[in-house]
Amino acid sequence: MDLSASLNLALPELILAISVLGIVVYGALRGNKSAFTVNALSGAALIAAAFAAAFGSHGSGFSGSFISDGVAVYAKVFIYIVAVAIIVLSKGYFDRLNQTKFEFPILILLATLGMSMMVSAGDLIALYVGLELQSLSAYILAAFRRDDPKGSEAGLKYFVLGSLASGLLLYGASLIYGFTGSMNFEAIAEALKVNTEVGVIFGLVFLISGLAFKISAAPFHMWTPDVYEGAPTPVVAFFAGVPKFAALVLFARVLTDTFADLYSQWSQVILLLATLSFLVGALGGLMQKDIKRLLAYSSIANMGYALLALAAGTGYGVQALLLFMVLYTIDTTGLFSAQMALSRKGVPLTRIDQLAGLSKVSMPITIAITLLCLSVLGMPPFSGFWAKVFVFGAAIEAGHWVFAAIGLVASVVAAFYYLRIIKLMWFDGGAEEIDAAPAATKWILYASAAFAFPLSAFALIWLYPLAENAIKSFGLN
């Protein structure tokens, strides 16, 4: 494929990269006075990239290092949309704290560009470059509030542990290259059909470990509660969804496509990670008093369900993964929107006990939070229930019914801390008046709650065929 055709495939990434360069110059010249314009330009760039991805061509470019297929397009469009929502949420959050800075949306654009490269990676170099672009932006975002000790601690912890995970991933990639003689995913798959060296399996384990850190799967979850607690809430809302979605799509491409012949080896590792994530997430969340730390453990548990779908190693498993991550990301974005909507006398509500009696002072927000909590815990007929049905169905179809049963038990245990929040809001007293929430924050919260229920059926009717068409490019049964 010639250069022009390759550039056409990468049009969404080109739009983001060129937009970042122009917006950085504008922001540097105008300073923080440009924050509103920078937000608007960043949102416009993401929307343009989403259209370019949705209506662009499919194929492989840049000597096979870049892939634009159904799964990549599905992931990119959703990632871009959520990134726009995060930029909108950040304006109300930082305006309330008088800490608006023009750099925030630029960092979101850079992280999104890295994720876009991740889901289209066709070789180990593209995988690593995309992952590091996203990670370096994420480290800065975690410590965005430099004057906040917890924020600085969150950024430092994330950077140190992230560097270790990147080292593991890079070492695994070097082993795979050394034993197969290629970095291209298709060439690696062909080499494995001829001969499978033990070193390749070791390399794959290191690669899985590095990617498991990026999605906060246990036992590589140690950064998650502290970073969630210390980072600004819009940043945490961003971390909780789309970077993990991008990493899981990369997981699926590497494991079910490139290393399909080693399924019996890598599936055991993935099932172990899923089981540990179930247990750590469900049990760890029971002891939390901080809202963001609670959502951190909820995220760990939910990554276990995503990995369970991936462990099936089938087309239906990848489809379940795509559906689960979209529905989960909508729910978690809504829950973080709720936290950004809640404050008293200019101070954000951070503890679970501060939600007591919320129904007496803000019924609409209480109803929205209730719907989202019921969805995340998997209560029928909410969207989270159907997401887990797809995951458990894929696992059982692949013969992993024992692990599906463990996940179901963990889901029941985790339901306790969501039901506790609902009980506090509706039945406990001690309510105090809350500040008026930013309008955009409330509407994103209400839209997320509507997708959880009652629009969940509409969402599934729309998303299911999209995910089904997307996985055809993987060639899985």
The conformation of residue 371, written as its DSSP 8-state character, comes to H
Q: Are strands 66-68 and 343-344 parallel, antiparallel or unpaired?
A: unpaired
How far is 257 from 255, CA to CA, in rounded Å?
A: 6
Coil, helix or strand for 123? strand
How far is 419 from 355, CA to CA, in rounded Å?
A: 13
Six-digit token pair at 477? 């049964």
Q: What's residue 337's pLDDT?
A: 95
How far is 309 from 251, CA to CA, in rounded Å?
A: 12
CB count in 10 Å sphere of residue 423? 12
Cα dist. 194→259, 261, 262, 287, 446 in Å? 13, 11, 12, 51, 54
Q: With beta carbons less than 8 A apart as the criterion, state whether 228 and 236 touch.
A: yes
Q: What's residue 132's pLDDT?
A: 93
How far is 109 from 43, CA to CA, in rounded Å?
A: 9
Q: What's residue 100's pLDDT?
A: 83
Q: What's residue 453's pLDDT?
A: 87
The conformation of residue 343, written as its DSSP 8-state character, comes to E
Q: pLDDT truncated to tens, each residue of the chain (477 aa)?
A: 578 888 999 999 999 999 999 999 999 998 888 889 999 999 999 999 999 999 988 899 998 899 999 999 999 999 999 999 999 999 988 888 888 889 999 999 999 999 999 999 999 999 999 999 999 999 999 999 888 888 888 889 899 989 989 999 999 999 999 999 999 999 999 998 887 788 899 999 999 999 999 999 999 998 999 999 999 999 999 999 899 999 999 999 999 888 988 999 999 999 999 999 999 999 999 889 999 999 999 999 999 999 999 999 998 999 999 999 999 999 999 999 999 999 888 788 889 999 998 998 899 999 999 999 999 998 888 999 999 999 999 999 999 999 999 999 999 999 999 999 999 999 887 667 888 888 999 999 999 999 998 877 777 788 888 888 888 776 565
End-to-end CA distance of the chain: 28
Q: What's residue 271's pLDDT?
A: 96
Q: What's residue 1's pLDDT?
A: 56
Six-digit token pair at 138? 């994420």
Up-side HSE of residue 28: CA atoms within 13 Å toward CB? Answer: 6
Q: What's residue 145's pLDDT?
A: 85
Q: What's residue 339's pLDDT?
A: 92
Q: What's residue 135's pLDDT?
A: 93
Q: What's residue 151's pLDDT?
A: 84
Residue type, 169: L
| Sequence-ordered list of residues with C-beta below 8 angstroms from that of 208, at least 6 positions apart, any chain | 172, 251, 255, 266, 269, 270, 273
Six-digit token pair at 87? 């930029």
Q: Which of 165, 339, 129, 325 is nearest to 243 (CA)?
A: 325
Asked if the peptide bond before residue 381 counts as cis, ω within 30 degrees of 0, the response is yes
CB count in 10 Å sphere of residue 272? 16
How far is 379 from 281, CA to CA, in rounded Å?
A: 18
Q: Which of 116, 229, 226, 232 is nearest to 161 (CA)?
A: 226
